[in-house]
Structure 1
Amino acid sequence: MILIADSGATKTEWRTITTDGQIGQARTVGISPYYQTDEAIAAELRQNLLPALSGTVTEIHYYGTGCSGPEPIATVERALRAVFPEADKVRVGSDLLGAARALCGKEPGIACILGTGSHACLYDGHDIAQPAVSLGFWLGDEGSGGYLGKTLMVHYLRGELPADLAEKFSRRYNSPDRLTVLDHAYKQPYPNRYFASFSKFLFDNRSHPFAYQLVYEAFGLFVDKYVRTFPGHQNLPVHFVGSVAFYYSDILRRVVSDKGLTPARILENPIAGLALYHQ
């Protein structure tokens, strides 16, 4: 049986594929090799994944956040081998590689992530040929939920929102004040998640010209700073995965087309595409 994982910071989606093609699924909490030891990861999997599986796992393909260097990859691999000693093949890769394989399959293309954060890569049909330069929440993440929420909040605090939107925002979020926002930005953990929580306001008000333009311009920045840096981008399909890409797909497709590029597949999450890739 093949076991496939797509792991983010908050949850991990699992799929199993049996020799006769039957597909099973499970979900556990997110796994982070930066914050968890291999023993802690193995304990989590024994407690919450093993009871959901039936059959012997002989092959594992794991894609996860933080798995972009030798040390975190080794941490996850040790945990998987400890829990599934019968597995002959254990492969651990980044969430970006997982997104690329889920989106592009075995064809070349450009794979993009637009969720709480953002990233992209040039994909050759099997592996990442060139990753974009990712600078994280404070220095980059253009087009992401964190970026959208941060930009919206800056406009609100500076009194730049149209009056009708400002009133709706204030009522919905109990009039957030400057000091509270700055505390979340610089002193509280996970500022990207905090600001991303405000991006839903833009989605709910996307018919308003100001909200629509804010989202349109953020996606335009993403295309310019990520997608258009890849050689041959004019002739490759541009795919997206992530909640922001999925829910704003109408605006996103328009932006990509307006930039003279070819919008292709848009998925909310990559696990189904990964199951197809490895089936």
Structure 2
Amino acid sequence: MILIADSGASKSDWMLIDNNGEQMSFQLVGLNPYYLSTNETINILSKELTPFIDTKKIDEIYFYGAGCSSLYKCMMMEEAFQNIFKNASIHIESDLLGAARALFGDNEGITCILGTGSNSCYYDGNKIVNNVVSLGYFFGDEGSGAHMGKNFIKDYLLGNLPEKLQEKFKKDYNYTRDNILDAVYNLPYPNRFLASFCEFYADNLSDKYIFELITNSFREFFINQVEKYKKIREVPLRFTGSVAFYFEPLLHQVSNEFNLKISRIIRSPINALAEYHKNN
């Protein structure tokens, strides 16, 4: 049996494929080696996976994860999986390669991820050839939920939101200044917290401030990421991630401003990755 996972910062999507080709999908929390120790990852896998998966029957594991771009971080994840899946051949790759394989298969193109965080690459149909550096939620992640959240929460705390929007957010979330600062500076996963307001944006998309918050964040992504690729006007441009998926019309609008056409947007790579590994 094959176990495939695509993990972002907030959640991970999983697909189990048995020897008859039958598929079972499920979702867990995000597993990122930048935020979890090896032992913490082992504990999550033990608690969430082992109750309903016979680990001895898993032959291959393909884990594509945010934070799995360096050899050291990949080795951390491999050690965690080996502790649980004793008989499996384990492959740890970046979520960016997973997105590229899901969006392009064996063909070339520019792959973009817009979710809790953001990333991009030029993929030649086999491997990632060029990756504009992603600086994370503090310095980068343009176009992502965390980037929008950072700008939105700053304006909320400073009282710079339109009055009706300020009051609506206060009523819906009831956060104090201390609650917010604690979540950002003291509690685990500040990026998840900052990215947790996308539903509020979607519910208030008719508000000019929200519209500009999202489109300006997308513009920064195109300027700092997409436009940096020399082949951007020669190969297809495709996106994955919840932010790209739910704000698709706005993303197309911004891409048109740069005279670029997005040929495909998917919410999650997991189904396409299952097909990829069935054929490769």
The answer to whether the 8 A contact 2:9-2:116 is kept is: no
Shift of 1:197: 2.3
The answer to whether the 8 A contact 1:236-1:262 is kept is: no
1:56 matched to 2:57? The reply is: yes
> Residue 52 of structure 1 aligns to a residue in which SS?
coil
Shift of 1:183: 4.1
Shift of 1:227: 0.6
Q: Which consecutive residues of structure 1, in runs of 5 or more, have no partner in the other structure?
A: none
1:253 matched to 2:262? The reply is: no
Shift of 1:51: 4.3
1:220 matched to 2:219? The reply is: yes
Q: Distance in 2 between matches of 1:43 and 1:201?
A: 33
Q: Distance in 2 between matches of 1:272 and 1:134?
A: 25
Give 1:175-254 correspondences, 5 Å limit. 176-177=176-177, 180-254=179-253
> Residue 15 of structure 1 aligns to a residue in which SS?
strand
Tell me: CA distance 1:229–1:208, structure 2 relative to 1, closer, same or farther (3 Å): same
Shift of 1:160: 3.2
Give 1:28-107 correspondences, 5 Å limit. 28-34=28-34, 35-37=36-38, 41-42=41-42, 44-53=44-53, 56-87=57-88, 89-107=89-107
For 1:263, the equivalent position in structure 2 comes to 262
Between the aligned residues of both structures, percent identity stands at 43
The answer to whether the 8 A contact 1:96-1:121 is kept is: yes
Q: Distance in 2 between matches of 1:82 and 1:135?
A: 31
For 1:84, the aligned partner's letter is F
Shift of 1:10: 4.5
The answer to whether the 8 A contact 1:26-1:52 is kept is: no
Q: Distance in 1 between matches of 2:239 and 2:25?
A: 23
Tell me: CA distance 1:17–1:175, structure 2 relative to 1, closer, same or farther (3 Å): closer
For 2:273, the aligned partner's letter is L
For 1:111, the equivalent position in structure 2 comes to 111
The answer to whether the 8 A contact 1:26-1:49 is kept is: no
1:155 matched to 2:165? The reply is: no
Shift of 1:57: 2.5
- Aligned residue pairs total 276
Q: Distance in 2 between matches of 1:8 and 1:116?
A: 7
Tell me: CA distance 1:275–1:212, structure 2 relative to 1, closer, same or farther (3 Å): same
Q: Distance in 1 between matches of 2:190 and 2:87?
A: 41
Shifted more, 97-106 versus 22-31: the winner is 22-31
Q: Distance in 2 between matches of 1:152 and 1:209?
A: 13
Shift of 1:80: 2.9
For 2:249, the aligned partner's letter is D
TM-score, L = length of structure 1: 0.87
For 2:23, the equivalent position in structure 1 comes to 23
Structure 1, residues 150-196: CA drift from partner, whole Å, max 9, x if none? 2122333344333332332333233744x554444334433322222
Q: Which consecutive residues of structure 2, in runs of 5 or more, have no partner in the other structure?
A: none
Q: Distance in 1 between matches of 2:112 and 2:222?
A: 10
The answer to whether the 8 A contact 1:31-1:41 is kept is: yes
Structure 1, residues 78-137: CA drift from partner, whole Å, max 9, x if none? 3334433433x4211011111221122221111111111111111111211111211111
